[in-house]
Amino acid sequence: MLEITEAMAAVFLENCHLFQFTAREIDVCLLLAKGMTYTEIAETLHISNSTVDSHAQKIYKKSGVNSRVTLLHKLYQNSVK
């Protein structure tokens, strides 16, 4: 498993802010990065699966991606041009 350094975590959060994710969208992104399913995220955040799906769709739209893998690749990049 990939070890996340402090520098990588800082880039991740900086990119989340550049995409103007809400605090809850950042929560969802962090859990997506941990490999959780939508159901696991819903249980962890005490929200419904459809709410997780809604957050994910907004995250994908704001970041211009259509998959979790592409999203995470983009969030861990040093530049999100």
Contact 19, 63 (CB under 8 A): yes
For the segment 22-68, what is each residue's pLDDT rounded down to a tens digit? 999 999 999 999 999 999 999 999 999 999 999 999 999 999 999 99
Domain range summary for the chain, segments of one domain joined by +: 7-12+21-76
Closest CA to 77 of 7, 12, 4: 12
**pLDDT over 70 at 14, yes or no:** yes
- Looking at domain 7-12+21-76, its CATH architecture is Orthogonal Bundle (1.10)
Read off the pTM.
0.88
User: Could you tell me the two tokens for 74?
Assistant: 């983009």
Task: Give the pLDDT score at 80.
Answer: 56
